[in-house]
Every structure is written in structure tokens, then in C-alpha cells.
């Protein structure tokens, strides 16, 4: 068996294969075990595990903000979408109950902590919010959120995860749209360096791989920078 790693492996280190998606590895052992139960137990046993005793870790047993939820949000007009995302982010953080639900009277004073969704739910909502704000021409409000998304990939996901490249590409483009060249170049350099580490191929392969991201109409007020497309400024072909 051959492994291709994205970081150095030292003598004595153990390599393991995860059966979980990379964005849920930061969750509690209880939730990770529930996710494994979904895949490795018979349906009847899995249902018992999911709906039986949950121990001291409340909240959903699987990520909530899946592709269906994201598509539904993106089908809304931007103003309604922002409001819906903010409401969902409060629920995801355990700061609010779902619409139409309330605590029993005897529990009105209880802390909402412990009912939070998966951390990747918040990350997906942050990404949707940043995209929405940029589409509304509010890049100055979107940039701090892109930076939060970058922070999540650096602290909550496996080292050199591909998701960090995607998020840094958008953070770089948003920064450049706001004329913050230093921050844009910083995100761009890290994205390219990480892509080379994982996939190789230099600037050309990087730009082929992310050409769709460059073409997304996320920033209607964005134009060329210094007389050239943003990707040419941030990832010029000469830097190979």
C-alpha cells in the first residue's frame, strides 16, 4: 500500500485512515462515533443509536447545513437570505431555538449551550454569508467573514486541507477588491504554496484547477486590478 502525504512523516509516527469527512474530525468523540454509526451499523441498530440515549452531548447527530439547505438558501433573494443565514447561525451556535420552538416553562432559565450544531454547519453558513455580502457589493463586510473561514480551516481541519486553498482564494480576491494588496498577496501566496504541496504543478495547474472560482460572479463591482485580471495580478504565470 502506498501513501502520498501532505506533510513530513517522522519515524515512529502512526498513519491512520479516517472513515469520517475531514470537516467533522474536530467534533466531540460522541458525535464522531454517531457519524460512524450511520455508516457501519444495520439500519435498525443505527436508528436505535441515533434516537436512544445521547449522553451529555445534545444537538443534531449529523451536519444540518447540507447541500439541500445551501441550495434553498441560495434560491432566496439576497436580503431574505442574509436574514435566514443570521437566524440559522444563531441556532447553529446554540444561541437560539429553531423557529416555532420554545423551552418548557420549567426550563426557561436553562443555558442554550450544548444544543449547538456541528462546527462545519457554522462554517458553511459563514461561507454563504460572505458570498451573499459580496454579491450585494459589501466586500468590506465580507472580508472579516472570509478571514474567519480561513481561521476555521487552519485550526479545525487537518493540516494542509484542500478546503483551506479554496477559502484563501476567495479571501485573496475579496482583499484585492478592497485594494488591500498586502493581505491579498498573503492569502494568494499561501494558497499557491499549499496547492503545490498537495498537488504540485505550479501556477499553471493551480490556475487551471481554480479557473471556475475566478470566473464566479461574486463581486459585481470588481474589475481589473492595475489593468489586468485579478488572477493575473495575484498568481502571474511568471512565478513558476
Q: Give DSSP secondary structure letters for 156-169.
A: TS-TT-HHHHHHHH
Between residues 104 and 190, which one has the greater pLDDT?
A: 190
For residue 225, the cross-strand partners are 228
Place of cell 498513519: 15
Say how many Å lie between the first and final Cα of the chain, rounded.
32
Q: Does 107 score more than 50 pLDDT? A: no
Q: How does residue 114 score in pLDDT terms, banded at 50, 70 and 90? A: very low
pLDDT at 57: 56
Close Cβ partners of 180 (under 8 Å, ≥ 6 residues apart): 143
Q: pLDDT digits over 123-169, tens only?
A: 999 999 999 999 999 999 999 999 999 999 999 998 888 999 999 99
46-49-55 Cα angle (round to 5) = 160
Q: How does residue 170 score in pLDDT terms, banded at 50, 70 and 90? A: very high
H helix runs in 26-155, sequence order: 29-40, 43-51, 67-74, 78-92, 119-135, 139-155
Task: Report the predicted TM-score, pTM, of the whole model to 2 decimal places.
Answer: 0.81
Average pLDDT of the chain, as a whole number = 83
pLDDT at 101: 57
Asked if 139 and 178 touch (Cβ cutoff 8 Å), the reply is: yes
Place of cell 461561507: 127
Q: How does residue 95 score in pLDDT terms, banded at 50, 70 and 90? A: confident
pLDDT at 48: 43
Q: What percent of the chain has pLDDT over 70?
A: 80
Compute the average pLDDT of residues 26-42.
Answer: 77
C-alpha of 25 from chain center: 13
The 3-state DSSP class for residue 141 equals helix
List the single range of 11-15, 17-21, 97-101, 227-231 with lowest mean pLDDT. 97-101
Asked if 139 and 133 touch (Cβ cutoff 8 Å), the reply is: yes
pLDDT at 6: 72
Total number of residues shown for the chain: 240
C-alpha cell at position 99? 423557529
Q: Does 106 score more than 70 pLDDT? A: no
Between residues 32 and 226, which one has the greater pLDDT?
A: 32
Q: Does 55 score more than 70 pLDDT? A: no
* CA–CA gap between residue 130 and residue 82 (Å, rounded): 10
pLDDT at 222: 63
* CA–CA gap between residue 223 and residue 233 (Å, rounded): 12
Q: What is the DSSP letter of 51?
A: H
Compute the average pLDDT of residues 188-217.
Answer: 90
Asked if 81 and 73 touch (Cβ cutoff 8 Å), the reply is: yes
Amino acid at each position: 500500500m502506498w501513501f502520498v502525504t501532505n506533510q513530513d512523516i517522522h519515524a515512529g509516527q502512526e498513519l491512520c485512515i479516517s472513515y469520517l469527512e475531514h470537516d467533522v474530525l474536530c467534533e466531540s468523540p460522541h458525535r464522531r462515533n454517531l457519524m460512524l454509526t450511520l455508516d457501519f451499523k444495520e439500519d435498525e441498530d443505527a436508528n436505535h443509536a441515533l434516537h436512544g440515549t445521547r449522553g451529555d452531548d445534545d444537538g443534531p447527530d449529523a451536519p444540518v447545513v447540507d447541500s439541500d439547505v445551501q441550495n434553498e438558501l441560495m434560491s432566496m433573494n439576497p436580503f431574505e437570505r442574509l436574514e435566514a443565514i443570521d437566524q440559522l447561525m444563531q441556532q447553529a451556535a446554540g444561541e437560539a431555538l429553531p423557529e416555532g420552538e420554545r423551552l418548557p416553562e420549567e426550563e426557561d432559565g436553562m443555558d442554550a449551550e450544548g444544543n449547538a450544531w456541528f462546527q462545519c454547519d457554522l462554517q458553511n453558513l459563514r461561507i454563504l454569508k460572505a458570498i451573499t455580502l459580496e454579491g450585494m457589493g459589501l466586500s468590506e463586510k465580507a472580508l472579516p467573514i472570509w478571514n474567519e473561514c480561513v481561521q476555521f480551516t487552519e485550526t479545525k481541519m487537518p493540516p494542509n486541507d484542500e478546503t483551506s486553498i479554496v477559502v484563501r482564494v476567495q479571501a485573496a480576491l475579496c482583499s484585492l477588491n478592497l485594494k488591500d494588496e498586502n493581505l491579498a498577496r498573503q492569502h494568494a501566496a499561501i494558497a499557491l504554496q499549499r496547492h503545490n504541496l498537495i498537488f504540485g504543478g505550479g501556477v499553471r495547474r493551480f490556475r487551471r484547477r481554480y479557473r471556475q472560482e475566478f470566473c464566479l460572479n461574486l463581486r459585481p463591482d470588481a474589475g481589473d486590478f492595475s489593468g489586468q485580471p485579478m488572477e493575473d495580478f495575484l498568481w502571474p504565470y511568471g512565478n513558476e
